[in-house]
Every structure is written in structure tokens, then in C-alpha cells.
Copies of this chain bind each other. A is one copy, B any other.
């Protein structure tokens, strides 16, 4: 029986790989992570093969007995002779040597990741025969961001209350947090911020003695899994908390306050990864308040954490959120590039910019932000959103690795090998390098972690893609489905459903990259003009003839932030990808699209199709009745039924909106309400 709680780490009985002695594990003497690796091997084998191997940590028999050898490359090299070149941190070898299985990590996390990799192979029936695997993460930083508030609520959370907090206290089930850490480590996550980037109310006190003991206790739970914590901080803390007259980053008293504060924090959590900062963004305090730059702000904080080996992750989600809709000269899409590109090379070496993948805000479809490929002398990360803020609130099924794959494959055309996935690498000054990923997570206290059981695939997929951005969405769907549902027809069907879900969602959503036709605040369901006259800089300006913003040089000039090749491509309606054409262009409804139909007819068509595809997904799911655990079947069924209602609203509101604007009926005569 499927356990929703166990996600992709289901208990099941698989065949033991022939010829391997797995009942004794010899572990190298090591730290907590190496120890945990042995324990995870034991638990995994118990879960999949039904017996509990003896684990002998710190006492590896390298004398020749057959068994499982877990250790670092350095430790195991004398006997097993690994290649000379160094793996990336977290990399590992898996080899069979006679009856022995050898898992050698470049470091302790590498051992742990190797164990999880082997268990994944084992669960999917791929651990048989001779193994000779070399694997390493492409990106050094694979980060989860929690937007959890201390009162227990989660900003943009759709799976219950916070795993960590309630009623302004740390309040968690330690075993559950261990299970969570295990899941994350199994897909390679190595950093985790525990609190919302909007740091308000009690959360400001996380960096005070009021809470630091409890932060340290939580760090203890994650540490054996190779996960280091981050704390989101409030830039205004010296003023609001420290009672200084200012939080000006160039004021020596402010810098001194942060220095002292960092020392206190690191006294409690010496391996804290650092601070995550949302400054001058959507009302949060920041250096602009004091006429200082983001370089001033970030570097001041960086100097405070530097003595402790900490880093400052500084978000680039900085834009004018009190824009006047009447003003057509401003363009929110330009903001991150305009704010940060001039400072390339000015940030300290322990500052890492965190840049949302697109210029807006996690929309269903938006272009890749032009800072990627452009920044050459600044450490930076690419930020994604696993939680389904704009992608269906974990009511609608929406498999996100599809869109992430499109991001990874985007060619920045800023040089040879300029695809996003090709830019992911450890930082080297002068070379555009994305050091990794951060993503807002989709978990909460719901029994199945993610509300929608199918949304577990997005968490899994994020980890996998952060580890290796060259993995394809179908490969990941297949892995996840087999791990969750076993290797059979059901898993095939569910993997296929996942792959169908994102295209369907995109079709019934805002058309062709126009963005933000969503219900304000909640961001679920359609509201075509909901953001049209708002202060958020998110307009489509549909009138009776045309829709969209001209972002070419004849308009806001946003396309000019890209490389010349991309700038030319996006600015040319004939070459601009059609799924983004309304992001870059203002088009008449009679604009002819590549399929020969008008833009308007394409809007109608995609919206009828999107709904129909959800209806088909629902039928597919109903076909699984009896092949699945009843509770899982029922909970997903209920969500698909709600999704169909939502898809119908999107279809009808979008189509009615454009019919009313244009008076032009669907050429295929389908029902559009007047």
C-alpha cells in the first residue's frame, strides 16, 4: 500500500541484486554525515530488501571481507583505487567489486548522496549487475527556501501549517523533521532557510537569544543530512530591534551592531550558511531608505558574517511596487537588471545574489531574466518556486520540471555554451556562473507533505534538477513515478499524466506569456483585469484591437537587456517564441500566428484545449481506480475535479473577455458565453 507520507521513499520489496553481500556495512570513521550515511543505508535496505544490515561505523574492514564499503574517496582509495581527478563536493563513486559494494564520496555528504543514489537504483530495479558510477552535482548550492512565519502560517503555502513553527514558538515533531531532512538529502539539497523572507513580527527575534537556542536545536536535526541552515533577516533590525536611530549600512554603529549580532548567531550555530535578505522589496526595509546602494547594504552584512565563514544571499526582487498604471514608461520587467547590472563586480566575495528565473514573479510562462549570462563578476543563484503560487495552489496538477527544463535549455547567447544549464558551475570571476538554485518549497503539515500528492514530484524534481540541470523533465517524471508507485503500468500512466499537466495548465492560463490575469492576492483562478489598474506594474492593456506591452526598443526597451542575438530575436514578432509573444509585443487580435490562425482564434483554441485536456486527465485518473491505494486515489480525484472547475473558469472567463472586447466569435462555433 502506498504511503503518501513516504513520498519517493516507499517501503516495498524489491529483488536483491545478485552476488552482492549487503548484510554488513563497513563505515569509515567520520563525522555525523558519514554516520548518517551508514544509517540511511541500513534503513533503505530494510525498507526495500526487508533486512537490517549490521553497520560498523568507524571500524571498516578493508581486509577483504565482502560487504558494503562506505567512505570518502581519500579513505577508500588505497584499496579501491579511484581516478586521480577530484570530484565536485558531494560527488561520489558507486562500484561493485566482487561481492562488495563500494560507495565513495568526495566528502561526507558525497557518501550520503551515494547511498541515496544506490537506494534509488535498488528501488527501481536498476541495481543489478556490475556497477561503475561516477556522479557529482553540477551546482554547488542547492537551496530550499521556506516562507514560514512564526505564527505557523506559510506565505503562499498550500499544504497546511509550518513544519517548524506555531503560535510564535518553535513547534515541531523532531522525527518528522528528520524524515523531511532525509527526503531533501535524498535529492541533494544542502541548504535550507527556515523562515519567510518577509521577516516580520516575532521572526525578527530569530537572531536574538530569545530563539537562537531553538534555531541551533533545529540545525542539529538537519546537520547529519548535510543540510546547513540559513536565516532570513530584516535589514531594518538595527533600528527596529537594536534601537539605533538608523539602519543605514554606512553608519559605523549599524555595522557594529550587525557584527555583534553575527557573532552571537554564530556562537549558537557555528555552521550556519548565512543570512538571506529581501531588502527594498515590496515594503521591506533596505539601503534605499538611506540613499545607499544594494552594494553598500549587502557588503556591510557580508563583512559581519565573513569572520564566521558565513555568506549573505541577497535577493534581486527589487522593483517599484507602487507603480502608477497610467505611466507607460516604467516597466517592472526591467527592474532587476537595471538595479543590479551596474554593480557587477562590486559585491564582496561572500555575497551571492539570488535572482528569480524571470523578470516578473514566478509566472506560468515568462522569459528567463537577462541578468543570467550578463553578470560575470558577481556570485549568483537562480530562484525557482516549487510551491504553486501561480500554478494552481496544489489544487491543480502542474508538473513544474517542464518549465524548469525550458529555463535550463534557454540559450543566453552571451558566449559559447551559453545555455542556462551550461552556466551552472562553481563561481569563477570573469566567467558567468550560476552557482546553484534556490526554490520556495511546497511542504507543510499535511500528511502527504505537499497537499496534492502529485505535487511531491515538483519537490523531487527540483532537487534532481538542481543537482543536474541537464536532466530532462520526462526522465525526472519517470524516476519519481517509479519510486513512488513502483515499476509498472500505474507508474507509466502517472508519469505521463505529470507530463501532460503543465501544458494543459499553461493553455488555460493567461495566454502567450501575457502574465498576471490571476485573482489578486490569492493568485488562484482567473481575473483578467484583476491586476490591470493595480500598483504592481503588471498590465496587459487589452483594448478593443490589441493586447500586450511593447517591450522592444520602440516600447520599454526591455529586450535591450538581453544579448544582441536574443534582443533581436525577442524584438522580432516573427522570431519571438510564440509562448512569450505577448510578453514582448503588443499585438492586434488579428495578428497571424505561425499556425495561420489569428491571435484571437489561438486564444480561443488554447483555452478550449486546456479545459479538454484536464477533462482527459481526470478520465485517465479514473482509469486508475482499483490500481491505487484508495485514499491516494480519492484525494487526487477530488483535486482533479476541482481543477476541472478552475480550468472551466479560466476557459470561459478568458474567452468571454475577448469575445466581449472584439465581438468576434469562435470560428469553430464552440460555446463562448456572452
Give A contacts to B, CB under 8 Å. 325-326, 328, 526-530, 533, 541-545, 649, 652-653, 656, 659-663, 673-674
Contact = CB atoms under 8 A, between A and B. Distances in A.
A661 B543 contact: yes
10 contacts: A326-B652, A326-B656, A527-B530, A529-B529, A530-B530, A543-B659, A543-B660, A543-B661, A543-B663, A544-B660
A653 B534 CA distance: 10
Q: Is the interface of A mostly helix, strand, loop or mixed?
A: loop
A654 to B, nearest CB: 10
A328 B528 CA distance: 20
A281 to B, nearest CB: 24
Nearest to A545: B663
A401 B659 CA distance: 41
Contact of A674 (B528, B541, B663): B541
A526 B528 CA distance: 15
A325 B649 CA distance: 10
A673 B326 contact: yes
A477 B649 CA distance: 48
Contacts of A663: 543-545
Nearest to A543: B660
A554 to B, nearest CB: 15
Nearest to A529: B529
Given A326-B673, A661-B661, A673-B326, A533 B527 contact: yes
A145 to B, nearest CB: 29
A249 to B, nearest CB: 33
A660 B673 CA distance: 21
Nearest to A652: B326
Given A326-B673, A527-B533, A533-B527, A542 B660 contact: yes
A529 B657 CA distance: 10
A644 to B, nearest CB: 15
A174 to B, nearest CB: 34
A142 to B, nearest CB: 40
Question: Taking each of A528, A541, A649, A660, which has the highest tally of chain B beta carbons within 10 Å of its own beta carbon?
Answer: A660
Given A543-B674, A674-B541, A533 B653 contact: yes
A611 to B, nearest CB: 14
Contact of A649 (B529, B530, B533, B541): B533
Contacts of A544: 544, 660-663
Nearest to A327: B673
Contacts of A660: 541-544
